[in-house]
Structure 1
Amino acid sequence: MPLDVIVLVVVAGLFAIVSGMNDGGAILATGLKLPTVRPATGILTLVAMVALIPLATHQVALTFVNRLATFHDPGGRYAMTIAVICSLAVVLVLSAKGRPTSLTLAIVGGLTGAGLGWGLPVSAGSVALVLGFGLAAPVVGALVAWAVTLLLLRLANARSLPSWHRVAFIVQCVAYAANDGQKMLAVFIIAIGTTDLAPSTTTLTANVDLGTTALTTDLGLGTTALTAALFGLGALYGLPKAGRLLSREIIVSRPLHGVAAELATGSAVIASAAASMPVSMTQTVAGALIGAGMTQGGGRVRWYAAVKIVTAWLLTLPASALLAGITAWTAKAAIP
């Protein structure tokens, strides 16, 4: 196996763990005040969805692979490796400080910067479109959560709220696996040479021409299950940090707010997946929590915590793009 493949596979595994650290806590955080879904059950459910949903739909993964930059061109694996490492470096610094940021923003910035630095074709239109959806997601999540909260105040009560929570949590898990979670799959796609997945079979098969070598790779349940397991390990570690900030510090929340935020987040993220556009689950959850809290006035929102998160978002993409661009340009010049 070529060295660049081995390195990128290892990096892809690390990326899955950090995705769990960053995203897993955010997904579980909204329902922590309800005993309906225990953390262990929640993580197992999320892991199962991350393993299974990509076998049915994987269009968001293809957006990362094909629409931002052409990473199946010669040197694409090197550029992808640099993009992921630089994205992880930015996110790990923020995660260590207990500030959940958007790993999706980081990888979009990293892919764009590494593509430009390595001299690969980069689609400015696609990058702008992805960023547009990313910016809209937390706003849409907030608006939908505001409406859902008002609806639940009329329809839900103490006895029925756990049932609403179960449904909302499943919707949110499906949404993550169909959208944000597929950034992990995209790295494996480049690592093993898969760029065109076949949706009609249970095994995802592809042919790709990398330079002069034609590769045929099966990306089946084994690969998605491994990715999901690594993601689950990261989620176990990251829940206390990322989960605490979202569940306790953004708003003075009630259980109903968490359920409304889950329903709103799942709906917004699934809609983006239908358009093949990746959006950040962390961003959307944070926006949805603010929208739910705003139904009872802005005083319920802890704006200082929200500002810290938004500041992290604003730093994430340019920092990842700049770091990846400089690193890729330097590495290409150094590699004979």
Structure 2
Amino acid sequence: MLLDAFVLIVVAGLFAVVAGVNDGGALLATGLKLPTVRPVTGIVLLAALVAAVPLLTHQVALTFVTRLGSFQDPGGRLAMVIAVVSALTVVGLLSARGRPTSLTLAVVGGLTGAGLGWGLQVSPEWVALVLAFGLAAPFAGGLLAWVLIRVLAARTTARGLWRWHWVGFLLQTLAYAANDAQKMLAVFMIAMGFTGAPVEYTVLVAVLFAIGTLYGLPKAGRTLSREIIASRPPHGVAAELAAGAAVIGCAAVGMPVSMTQAIAGGLIGAGVAQGGGRVRWYAAGRIAAAWLLTLPAGGLLAWGLALLVKGFASVRVS
């Protein structure tokens, strides 16, 4: 096996674990105040869908691999390594400063910067489209949750809310597997040179993701379910339903978006519907600022690293 492929496989495995830490806990966080879906049950269902859904559709993974840029061309593996390392660095630094952010945004920025720095073909049209959908997703989640929380409050009993929580959890988990989760599969696609979704790789991604989720659940749960709003069970259920619908809509057209952003938007929308005082605007503003910083920071770091590595490699060859 070539050295660049081996390095990318190792990076892909680490990336899947970090995605579990960053994303998996957030997916379970909104329902922590309801006894309907236990954390262990949720992690098992989440891992099962992350493994199974790409076997049916992996259009979002193809967007990362072939539509944003030509990462299957010579040098694409090293560029992907640089993109992922840059994304993990940016997310790690922001998280260490108490500003959790979107790993998907960081990856899009990293891929754009690494592709440009390495001299690969990068599609400005697709980058602009992905960015536009990424910005729209939390607003769509917020608007849908604003409507749903009113319906739930008016028409649903406590027992009915438990049933809706199951529906919402399954919907957002399906949406994540069809969209956000496929960034992990995309890294393995580049590393191994395939364009489909072999079951052994989707299962590997799911297992590594589940390990990360188990580790990251407590911190992510505190961030989303406590810091953004003074959350009650109906807020979480409305956010799940809204985020799931918004992200599935984006997946249908192959657009990668952040589930954590959509959930956060849903929580804010649900909070605003019952009085803006429930929303902790300072915390929400800090998270939004981190989102705005993530993509350009990931892109600039990856661009600089790509130029540095490519220049070093050229000097050694000469």
In structure 2, the partner of 1:232 is: 210
Write the deviation string for residues 13-61 of structure 1: whole angstroms up to 9, x where unpaired.
Answer: 0000110011011111111110111111111111111011000010000
Shift in Å, 1:97: 3.9
- Report the Cα distance in structure 2 between the residues aligned to 1:321 and 1:162, rounded to whole angstroms: 42
Is 2:265 the counterpart of 1:301? no
In structure 1, the partner of 2:129 is: 129
Structure 2: which amino acid aligns with 1:72?
Q
- Report the Cα distance in structure 2 between the residues aligned to 1:159 and 1:186, rounded to whole angstroms: 40
- Report the Cα distance in structure 2 between the residues aligned to 1:27 and 1:159, rounded to whole angstroms: 22
> Deviating runs (4+, > 4 A) in structure 1?
none
Shift in Å, 1:77: 0.3
Aligned ranges 1:54-93 → 2 under 5 Å: 54-93=54-93
Is 2:224 the counterpart of 1:246? yes
Maintained 8 Å contact 1:21/1:234: yes
Structure 2: which amino acid aligns with 1:263?
L
CA 1:46–1:233: 2 relative to 1, 3 Å? same
In structure 2, the partner of 1:275 is: 253
- Equivalenced residues, count: 314
Candidates 244, 266, 275, aligned match of 2:244? 266
Q: Answer 1 or 2: which has greater strand percent.
A: 1
Shift in Å, 1:155: 2.3
Maintained 8 Å contact 1:52/1:224: yes
Shift in Å, 1:151: 1.3
Structure 2: which amino acid aligns with 1:284?
A
Shift in Å, 1:242: 1.7
RMSD (CA atoms): 0.9
Write the deviation string for residues 242-290 of structure 1: whole angstroms up to 9, x where unpaired.
Answer: 2211001111111011000000000000000001100001111100000
Shift in Å, 1:154: 2.3
Shift in Å, 1:133: 0.1
- Report the Cα distance in structure 2 between the residues aligned to 1:102 and 1:55, rounded to whole angstroms: 25
The answer for unaligned runs of 5 or more in structure 1 is 198-203, 205-219
Shift in Å, 1:98: 4.3
Aligned ranges 1:154-303 → 2 under 5 Å: 154-195=154-195, 197=196, 204=197, 220-303=198-281
In structure 2, the partner of 1:209 is: none
In structure 2, the partner of 1:99 is: 99
- Report the Cα distance in structure 2 between the residues aligned to 1:120 and 1:6, rounded to whole angstroms: 21
Q: Answer 1 or 2: which has greater helix percent.
A: 2
In structure 2, the partner of 1:216 is: none
Structure 1: which amino acid aligns with 2:239?
A
In structure 1, the partner of 2:147 is: 147
Is 2:53 the counterpart of 1:53? yes
Is 2:307 the counterpart of 1:329? yes
- Report the Cα distance in structure 1 between the residues aligned to 2:100 and 2:181, rounded to whole angstroms: 16
Aligned ranges 1:14-29 → 2 under 5 Å: 14-29=14-29
Identity in percent: 67
Taking structure 2 as the reference length, the TM-score comes to 0.97
- Report the Cα distance in structure 2 between the residues aligned to 1:94 and 1:169, rounded to whole angstroms: 28
Shift in Å, 1:221: 1.7
In structure 2, the partner of 1:217 is: none
Structure 2: which amino acid aligns with 1:290?
I
- Report the Cα distance in structure 2 between the residues aligned to 1:242 and 1:313, rounded to whole angstroms: 16
Write the deviation string for residues 286-306 of structure 1: whole angstroms up to 9, x where unpaired.
Answer: 000000011111111000110
Write the deviation string for residues 223-251 of structure 1: whole angstroms up to 9, x where unpaired.
Answer: 11111111111111111112211001111
Maintained 8 Å contact 1:99/1:242: no
Is 2:298 the counterpart of 1:320? yes
- Report the Cα distance in structure 2 between the residues aligned to 1:325 and 1:97, rounded to whole angstroms: 23
The answer for unaligned runs of 5 or more in structure 2 is none
Structure 2: which amino acid aligns with 1:155?
R
- Report the Cα distance in structure 1 between the residues aligned to 2:10 and 2:18, rounded to whole angstroms: 13
- Report the Cα distance in structure 1 between the residues aligned to 2:45 and 2:92, rounded to whole angstroms: 25
